[in-house]
Structure 1
Amino acid sequence: MRILIAEDDSRLLTQLDALLQQHGYSVDLADNGEHALFLIQEYTYDLAIIDIGLPKLDGFDVIRKARKADIKSPILILTARDRWQEKVEGLDAGADDYLTKPFHNEELLARVKALIRRASGQANPTVEFGPITLDTVAEEITVNGTPLVLTAYEYKVMEYLMLNPQKVISKTELTEHIYDQDFDLDSNVIEVFVGRLRKKLDPKGSLKPIETLRGRGYRINRHL
């Protein structure tokens, strides 16, 4: 999952970057509103975390302009301001949720996961397709109740597929959502991850959990 963080406090920006990467997210950073607006219009994010008090262009304006440009990524506001009027203004601008500084890392992570699930139409923290279950809280995938041993990137690929079951996901889209923006998009590494996942999810070859649509990409098999 790919997240944009827009925060002008360099120390907090570094902390958030490290926290989210530690939990398997691909992260892009902006320390002012103009850069944040450019990134959110240029790239597709699973979530944007935006501070209200950004220089050059404040967080409210970033959100308004992003929504006006039909950017649909969920947005979580970070704010040191605890006046209810400013929280309302942020939500009215198009944000989906807000978090007041200082905050606990666990709460931030819980809100991030909830917003990403909600955006994909999944209110429940667990997603099931046949015998395959994704637990977004434990960050674990099980088959018939047995946890799989997956690498971080294998988990990211499967999570993205399971949270977007209606879409055919291209190799490029998968790469953009699990790696930083400077990764080589022509790499065949996604094919390798999908091949490994198929072997781990379906060692007998009976489930066919991941479909390949030739020339288009991959899709979770919704008829498991």
Structure 2
Amino acid sequence: MNKQILLLEDDFNLGDTIKDLLVAGGYQVDYVTSGQTAIDLTYDHQYDLYIFDINIPDIDGLDILKSLRNADDLTPAIFISAMTDLKTVLKAFDAGAYDFIKKPFYSEELLIKVNLKLMEKDQKIQYKDLEYFPKEKKLLRNQKLVSLGEVSTQIFDLFLHNIGRVINKNELYECMNNPGPNALRFHISNINKITGIEIKNIRGRGYILEQS
């Protein structure tokens, strides 16, 4: 599946240009001009990257990212903004931004930074005594190959890419051929038993794999 990006930009011409650039680069892009719409989409979709403008009429881009971080959403975010004073840049990184690109910018600059960040997610992920290689779906524990099965691996992959964030059941069901609460509990138990990690149930919200 292609990486999914949420783009928030209220300048229609620039937004369309960025979307076309990213789609041509092989990404799936949801482009919105409203901060509230962006927030709503994060509830229903699992994105690999956010690209936010800051000066959005209804909800400030900085406030959006702060609220997402407060909700344990650790999806990497890049800000693009004409507000280039040092105070704003520092606020962006304090809010949890991965990068800040000042307008105007070369489209190639944005694409390079997007590619670099999303390539990181395809490299080895280390968690305690586990080494996971997302591209090959290969998992090592104490340098020994272990197998979770296809569905449990998909669920495990989702948790490793969202460490520290509560993942709701609907997101987890998307990884399953025959979703349901009993099947989900089986896969969570299977993952915990084989890997030695602890995926916790947050009652009424979902499950979380906490920072190691």
Q: What TM-score, normalized by structure 2, do the two folds share?
A: 0.59
* Whole-angstrom distance in 2 between the partners of 1:24 and 1:56: 30
- Where does the alignment leave 5 or more consecutive residues of structure 1 unmatched? 124-159, 174-184, 189-215, 217-224
1:65/1:119 CA distance change after superposition, 3 Å = farther
1:135-174 correspondence to structure 2 within 5 Å: 161-162=134-135, 168-169=153-154
* Whole-angstrom distance in 2 between the partners of 1:117 and 1:165: 17
Residue number in structure 1 paired with 2:103:
101
Q: 1:77 aligns with which of 76, 79, 95?
A: 79
Question: How much identity, in percent, do the aligned residues show?
Answer: 32
> Hey, which bits of structure 1, 4+ residues long, moved more than 6 A?
none
Residue number in structure 1 paired with 2:45:
43
3-state DSSP class of the match of 1:3? strand
1:165 positional shift: 5.2
3-state DSSP class of the match of 1:16? helix
* Whole-angstrom distance in 2 between the partners of 1:169 and 1:97: 28
Residue number in structure 2 paired with 1:63:
65
Partner amino acid, structure 1, of 2:88: E
Please list the CA deviations of residues 152-194 of structure 1 after superposition, one character each: whole Å capped at 9, or x if unmatched: xxxxxxxx95187558237xx8xxxxxxxxxxx8xx9xxxxxx
* Whole-angstrom distance in 2 between the partners of 1:122 and 1:78: 28
1:32 positional shift: 1.3
Compute the RMSD of aligned alpha carbons. Answer: 2.9
* Whole-angstrom distance in 1 between the partners of 2:57 and 2:105: 22
Residue number in structure 2 paired with 1:114:
116
1:87/1:119 CA distance change after superposition, 3 Å = farther
* Whole-angstrom distance in 1 between the partners of 2:88 and 2:154: 38
1:25 positional shift: 0.3
Residue number in structure 2 paired with 1:219:
none
1:81 positional shift: 1.2
1:45/1:107 CA distance change after superposition, 3 Å = same
1:40 positional shift: 2.0
- Where does the alignment leave 5 or more consecutive residues of structure 2 unmatched? 126-132, 140-151, 159-173, 178-186, 188-212
Partner amino acid, structure 1, of 2:6: L
